[in-house]
Structures are given as C-alpha cells and as structure tokens.
A and B are shown apart, each in its own frame.
Chain A
Amino acid sequence: MGIKTVAVHSTADADALHVRRADEKICIGPPPSRQSYNSIPALISAAEVTHADAIHPGYGFLSENAEFADVVQKCGLTWIGPQPSVIRMMGDKVMARNTMAAAGVPILPGTGVLKSDEEAEEAVDRIGLPVIIKAVGGGGGRGMKIVKERKQLSSQLAAARSEAQAGFSNPTVYIERYVDRPRHIEVQVLGDGEHAMALGERECSIQRRHQKLVEEAPSVALDDKIRSELLKVAKKATAALKYKTVGTLEFLLDEKKRFYFMEMNTRIQVEHTVTEEVFGVDLVRTQIELAAGQPLRLRDNLKPRGHSIELRINAEDPDTFAPSPGLITGLRMPGGLGVRIDTHIYQGYRVPSYYDSLLAKLIVHADTRALAINRLRRCLDEFEVEGCKTNVAFYKRLLAHPDFVAGRIDTHFLERM
C-alpha cells in the first residue's frame, strides 16, 4: 500500500519477525503487558516520536478499548477501527443485546443488567432452565456460569459476580437461555459509516475453554435460505450502527438451526484469513482503506468460492495443552497450492512465555471441505517444529474423527473427544 510501518514491541518481543520486517521499530516497555502493550501512554508516546499518522490495534490488548480509541483520535491520529462510541456500546454486552434487538437481530431470551437475585429468579421462571449467567463487561467466553438446576442459581450468581469483578472490574451480570449444543457461527461485516456489507460467515465451533482452535468458511451447517437470512440480518445491524471499518457479529445456531446474536467484535479477528481465502478479499487492506475514509467499494453480490479451514498451531503440549515456550531450533513448514501460513516464528526464534501461545495460523483452501481436510492432513504431516511442543498431533487426531469430517460439530465437541 506504500504505507510505512512502525512496530511497537516489549523487550521480550525485540526479535519477533514483524519487528524485523517493519520499516521502523520502537521498544515501548518491559514484558508485562500492563507496562507495554496495554500502556496507553507508552503507545501514544511511541506514535508521537515516530510521527505516525495512524494506529492499528490488531486483536487482543487494547483493540477493543474505547478509551484508547478516544485518546488516539484526540491526539490527532487515525484509529484503524470503528468509532469509540460503537466500541463502547458493543463492549457492554447488555447494551449490545438491546441495540441488536432494536435492529431486528434475533437474541436469546434473557434479561437486562440484573439488579437483584429476585429478578434472576423471575427470569428463570420466564426463560426456563438451563440458563447461563454472563458478565456485562465480559466477553470471549470469560466470566460465564451455567445453571442447570434451580438450587444452583443463587450460588452461581454469587460466583459469577465475584469473577466478573475480578476479571473486568464490573460485577454486574445478566442471564440468557442456555443452548445445549450450539454451533458458533459468525459473520464478517464491513462498513464505511453509510453503507454496510456482510462478507459471508465462518464457523468456529471447535473451541477449547472458549478459545477457538479451528475456523472455517463457509459453514456446512447452513443451507442457502438460512445463510441468506443470517447475512441480511448482520448487514442490517451493521448499517444501523453506521459502522466503520471491519467487525464480526457472533451468533449461536441451535439444534433447530435458529440463530441468535451473542456479541460483536469491533476489530479484525484472528480467523479473518479464511474469509479472505474464499472471497479473495484482503480484509486488512480494506480495513485500512476504510479507516482512511475511503468508501466501501466491494460488490454486494460476492459469492465465496470453495472451502477454507484454519488451524491455530499453538506452542503447547498436544495432550495436556500446557503451554510450551522455548527456542525454535528447527522449523519446516508446508506449502503448495491452497496452503497459507501466517506466522511470526522462524528458526532461531525464542517463543516468549509472557504472551499467547499462538505460533502460526495454518490455512488451507480447496474446492470442497473434504478436499480441504485432506490438504490439511498433508500439511500437518509436513509441519515440523523442534524446540517447543505444538498441538499438531492433536489436530491430526481431530481431523481423523468421523464426526468432524462429517461436519457434525458443536462447541462442546472437544469436551467429548
């Protein structure tokens, strides 16, 4: 795009690949995120001394922090993301539910911010069991408690509130109907403030403790009719928000194939890659163009081609999932038609212990899901890392499982495996 980049990094990431590849680099703090990647003063100061024009917050860290987005804009920099007011709105899970409901998006029967245990009891009467208690300030699977029996309600409420306070400094909770075997379906949306579009869906049902491991596009759970309805609803909601840049609306699909809005991620996601593969659209480039004020130029009737699957290759034990940082002494990665690897690692790189265990995203594209799975199996055989353990062996087991191959998956799949 002809845009120069500055890579900010903590001392632990001084040798990261993106730091080496960026036009400029600047160390902003010690390894703890609070003093580096989550430090607004350090980030703004770095932007000032490097004379940056814009900040791309990536994912994680401060990417969905409305206060940071506000500060960035107030300092005269471009925030590569949606308006801070929208980030704030979607960050409050109850407000997000209400906003979406008003825009005609189906939501699960539930409550607003619970003001008392009595209110919770009434809600359970109305909604029926099982229900799930969620933190208003939470998200990403954290701070959730399931209630299957009436007698658990009061203790689970207390537990949820104290976890919410500890995790998000906000003890308020709400309740939703709990869907037993949901599939996680999300929609990639884009907007320029006036126009919006929904660029297909992704399925991310294979998760471990609410952390996604496998993502694919499109979802084999949807037929054309449901897909069309889902994308229409997502586009309408995005337009109602006058949303700018890119985002994702996450839904649950229940066993009757009804979809319900869960939350909106007001940033680019890890798994944006599989959408890029099936649509041939560069989402990060589009995101930057939209942030620069360009209008949404993608054709409305884009159709996906083929099937794409992404596996998150993590530095962890394939059986216990315990993190496994270390020095990568050997690295050989697959390639060829329909194989894409997004990674920051290289031979000689030391995986730090301070951050996420994600090493690489292994993404394949093929004409069908079956062919994509075959290609993925071959890639796993060719993916060799020496120096730290990876979950490659776990994925080999997963891809051999007949239910996975048949597309009979839901968010509890791994618990049963």
Chain B
Amino acid sequence: MTKRKAAATKRSVSTATARATTVAPTPPSGGFDLKLLRDLARIANEYDLESIELTPDGGICISRVPAASARMFAAPASSPASLSLVPLGAATIAKAEPVKVADDSVVITSPFVGTFYRASGPDSPVFVEVGQSIRNGQVVCIVEAMKLMNEIEAEADGKLIEILVKNGEHVEYGQPLFRLEKQ
C-alpha cells in the first residue's frame, strides 16, 4: 500500500482507497520527513482528500474523492495499513440525514416526497414549536405534494425536542421531520 514514486517535480500524498499511494517527500538532505508524512496522511484522511500535492515553489494543491465512490469501496480486509474513510455525503436535495434516536425519543418521518411547511399558510401560525407537548393524531406540519397540502399527524405522544427540517425545504419519503421525547 505504500509506494515510492519515481522522482518528480511535485511531492504528493494520496488517501488510502483502493488506489492508495503514499509518497515520501524527499527533503534536500535525502532523508525521510516521517512526521510531515504522517501529518499529511492524517489531513488527507480527515478531509477525505484524494491527493495533496506540494509544489516545488511551496504551493499546495488538494483534490477530493467524489463522495459516492468514497462510500462504495470498503477498505479490503487483507490490507492492514488501510485507512478508513469518513464519507462526507453528497450535496443532494432532500438527503435523509441519519438521526441517532435515543431510547426514549421518537422520530416523525415524511410519508410523501414534497415540500415541508410549518404552517398552513404564510401568514398562519406554525402548527408546533419546540418544547410543546404533542398528542397522537395532532397535526404537526404540512407536506405539499403536487399542489395538495397534506397535513401530517403525529403518531405518538411526546414533547417536541427538535425540528429537523427548515420551512419550505424539499423532503423525500422517509425523511425525519421532528424528534419527540416520549412522555
């Protein structure tokens, strides 16, 4: 997994994926700067970088792995020095954020793909606020789909502790909208 590249005008470090290469920069003295190498590799890993290039004139050039492929290639089990990648997630509309659900909290998810609204109209009061007690069957928001305003009801009792989407945001099926603390 660690290869030394032939002499080049640039010194570069690449992240470990299936194409892992880490090149030891060659300082003028001819020895290894191992600390620099470790720091560069850590930075590359932390920010999911495909490569860091240090140019001879002292500049730095970085490039990033596209999120989709970063998530796909699991580090091969047979390669002990492999670094694990932290997927940063693609910037998509209505991406469902994985929400950690504590034992006593419940998440209300969207049953449609559409647009989320906190009130029935621009001048109307919002249906619910953080801190409010919510009852099973109570309307908590609207998801508009194809010009139809669908009222979304809570399916449990609880205290609203978090609103997970913004007013007017597009939501997909199954996207978490509210977090309730069970009472």
The answer to whether A and B come from one shared complex is: yes
B94/A49 in contact, CB under 8 A: yes
A30/B72 in contact, CB under 8 A: no
Pick from B23-31, B158-166, B170-178 the stretch touching chain A. Answer: B170-178
Interface of chain A: mostly helix, strand, loop or mixed: mixed
The residue in chain A whose Cβ has the minimal distance to the Cβ of B147 is A48
The answer to the question of A346 belonging to the interface, with a C-beta cut-off of 8 Å to chain B, is: yes
| Interface size of A as a range | 20 to 34
The CA of A46 and the CA of B174, in the complex, are separated in Å by 13
The CA of A348 and the CA of B69, in the complex, are separated in Å by 13
CB distance from B109 to the nearest CB of A (A): 10
Among A45-79, those with CB < 8 Å from B are 45-46, 48-50
CB distance from A27 to the nearest CB of B (A): 4
Q: Point out the residues of chain B lying under 8 angstroms from A10, CB to CB.
A: 173
Assuming the A-B contacts A41-B145, A49-B94, are A27 and B113 also in contact, with contact meaning beta carbons closer than 8 angstroms in the complex? yes
A11/B146 in contact, CB under 8 A: no
Q: Point out the residues of chain A lying under 8 angstroms from B170, CB to CB.
A: 49-50
CB distance from A96 to the nearest CB of B (A): 32
A11/B74 in contact, CB under 8 A: no
CB distance from B69 to the nearest CB of A (A): 8
Contact of A46 (CB < 8 Å), options: B68, B72, B113: B113
Q: Point out the residues of chain B lying under 8 angstroms from A29, CB to CB.
A: 113, 173
CB distance from A140 to the nearest CB of B (A): 28
The residue in chain A whose Cβ has the minimal distance to the Cβ of B143 is A45
Can you report 13 A-B residue pairs in the complex whose CB atoms are below 8 A from each other? A10-B173, A27-B172, A27-B174, A36-B173, A41-B112, A45-B113, A48-B146, A49-B170, A49-B171, A50-B93, A50-B170, A346-B72, A348-B74
Not counting A20-B68, A27-B172, A45-B146, a sample of 15 additional A-B residue pairs whose C-beta atoms are within 8 angstroms of each other reads A26-B93, A26-B94, A26-B172, A28-B113, A29-B173, A36-B173, A41-B112, A41-B145, A42-B112, A42-B113, A44-B146, A45-B114, A45-B145, A49-B93, A49-B171
A residues contacting B by CB (< 8 A) are 10-11, 20-21, 24-30, 36, 41-42, 44-46, 48-50, 346, 348
